[in-house]
Chain A
């Protein structure tokens, strides 16, 4: 099937969603997604950040769709034409969604452990306004320890349901879900029970904001001061492929390996995540490639001199000191 997104055509399999078709093209035309997670069945459609305009339904029925549609849950039709960043209507709607999401999500990035890895932070930066028009009290919650390794800070939750889907789909028992309705909704465990199973730690990885945090890592460092390194180990429960986050010589956090859209490639078990914090436990593969757009890449690792520098011996010599410093890092 052929679909055109922001004027760029792509051939996709039937049943592909608009979002995934856009991901096959890549770049700026990929709609943001806060609640959709490709590894979780049934996720998506809730946060409304991925709204796009279908300006042509298909070759058979070229009528445009009357409303903006959630690209993560709408499958493509042959000949469909979609507008994302080329539609002012979409950008306006997305701004509105960001404003709504930020009503009950505090901008506490300076003290939030998710800072630097937060999808809402990126979305707010790209589509938000400098000032909110909301002047009323925000909802606040006490922090909840769900198990000895995970802390839930509901105040930051944007109710994307990802963690609920994760608990439903990759763990043995469902122990948490949504209580109440409307803006009183909250994620919680059944009568404050702990979430206790081998894969519970993945709810930290799927959380797009800082609502679910790793208690073994909380407040230990800012993510952009750490060094992410890909590593693996033989694990009888999971794939054992992880990213280790170093502070100096110490592994201070272990996470699943995330792709360019912030989704883990494979879920990992709690043993790998929480209990294996020594370099000796792992086979190191090498530095993790971080997008140069990410704040995590701000200090390091790969230094690729501009082409003109690479080919110009005078500039190469002038930048020698810089090259050496980067190599050391």
Chain B
């Protein structure tokens, strides 16, 4: 059984309140950091821990922190990215709902390490309950002297704010998030300059995911070396996985990185296998934006070794036979799942969420959605698969931000691994149109999505 660092006390009644959280050792990292450590020492510990960004990109957090420019007389900011909206990913919401003080504690320690006196938690606008929970937790922490002026008598000041977002997926991209936080339309900025040089209000800024910031707490408490002992290779520590789809026990699990995928799916400790005794057909391992893999490739690598839940193992084989750990949004599909409908559904999402700034993403996502729609509804052609692959290639890598890639990869990988199913939709058009996936209220053709 893996060690729980973030969710150890998740089932303790009242853990969302300051007193219960404190009684379980909460805020110890703040005391340790502020009283006994220098900001640079904390950054060193995070570097030693090998913690990689848990939002999806997997960039080493300590290294990101060390890039932060520190010009004299200029404010620095820490922004927590809680705009979780990747389809299939719901771990941050879980953490914020049930153990909000862990995030607050991580924010205080991280802000101290980065020399930020004002920090923000940017929460997706729809998550009003979580926003209220966080605001209450902040008020409690402030009342107890862990936030505000002169924290624990150290002379360090920190104001922490919760900012509801605009409710757009693109606002989870770090530069679009900063634009949105500044009160503008959430369009990604063109990089460089990176936020570490010119971020919020043009000042040096670090943007970290909720889980990354929460993970700083055990790293400071126990030391970076101890944290690095967990996990495998360059994938150190534990990871929250939000498991969904046709699983017996969907939910949020904390795993040691390096856990075999097979064990994660089939062991009773985790997902308990596929629901209703069906067979596994495919898995999206890291949220909807990563390539989909068929059962044989998600359980074993091309070298016939067990596939592990780690950054390296999941990406083994590149995009031909591998995928990505991403944000940990693990979606399993059973043998009855329609990959074409699923791919169309993802394409529909990315079309709707494209900000519209750059041409390939703005026009290409809509084009892919329309071709997939016609395939799903029995009007497809054999040439559509090649067309989709070609459109995805024209989008991939040519856009301002990774949303273009996120839209292109699921489509290209679905066709790569399940081309026969797409072809079946063309050759058996009438059958494809009459199947009911529990979405009978959708008429054919679907009404075009109106602008949000």
Q: Tell me the A residues contacting B by CB distance below 8 Å.
A: 44-49, 51, 67-68, 70, 73, 75, 93, 96-97, 99-101, 103-104, 133-134, 136, 158-159, 161, 177-178, 180-185
**Contact A68/B363 with A47-B358, A181-B354, A182-B356 known, Cβ cut-off 8 Å:** no
Q: How many A-B residue pairs have CB under 8 A?
A: 95
**Residues of A close to B364: CB separation below 8 A:** 100
**Residues of B close to A182: CB separation below 8 A:** 351-356, 362, 365-366
| Bound complex: CA A32 to CA B78 (Å) | 38
0/1 interface trace, chain B 352-390, chain A, CB 8 Å (1 if under)? 111111111011111100100000000000000001000
**Residues of B close to A48: CB separation below 8 A:** 358-360, 398-400
Q: Are B362 and A183 in contact, CB atoms less than 8 angstroms apart?
A: yes
Q: Are A178 and B363 in contact, CB atoms less than 8 angstroms apart?
A: no
**Residues of B close to A134: CB separation below 8 A:** 367
**Contact A46/B357 with A136-B370, A181-B451, A182-B365 known, Cβ cut-off 8 Å:** yes
**Residues of A close to B298: CB separation below 8 A:** none
| Bound complex: CA A183 to CA B356 (Å) | 6
The contact of B398 among A73, A93, A159, A184, by CB within 8 Å, is A93
**Residues of B close to A177: CB separation below 8 A:** 185
B248 within 8 A of A: no
Q: Are B400 and A45 in contact, CB atoms less than 8 angstroms apart?
A: yes
**Contact A181/B356 with A68-B398, A93-B394, A134-B367 known, Cβ cut-off 8 Å:** yes
**Residues of A close to B57: CB separation below 8 A:** none
| Bound complex: CA A178 to CA B357 (Å) | 10
- Taking CB as reference atom, which chain A residue is nearest B450? A184
Near A by CB (< 8 A), chain B positions 339-354 give 351-354
Chain A, interface SS category: loop
B320 within 8 A of A: no
- Taking CB as reference atom, which chain B residue is nearest A66? B397
**Residues of B close to A104: CB separation below 8 A:** 363
The contact of B367 among A67, A68, A103, A185, by CB within 8 Å, is A103
| Bound complex: CA A177 to CA B452 (Å) | 17
**Residues of A close to B387: CB separation below 8 A:** 133
The contact of A159 among B185, B362, B393, by CB within 8 Å, is B362
**Contact A46/B359 with A68-B398, A134-B367 known, Cβ cut-off 8 Å:** yes
The contact of A46 among B358, B363, B370, by CB within 8 Å, is B358
B128 within 8 A of A: no
Q: Are B360 and A96 in contact, CB atoms less than 8 angstroms apart?
A: yes
B390 → chain A, closest Cβ, in Å? Answer: 8
**Residues of B close to A136: CB separation below 8 A:** 367, 370
A16 → chain B, closest Cβ, in Å? Answer: 14
| Bound complex: CA A48 to CA B190 (Å) | 12
Q: What 3 pairs between A and B have smallest CB-CB spacing?
A: A96-B394, A185-B356, A45-B190
**Residues of B close to A101: CB separation below 8 A:** 359, 363
**Residues of B close to A161: CB separation below 8 A:** 357
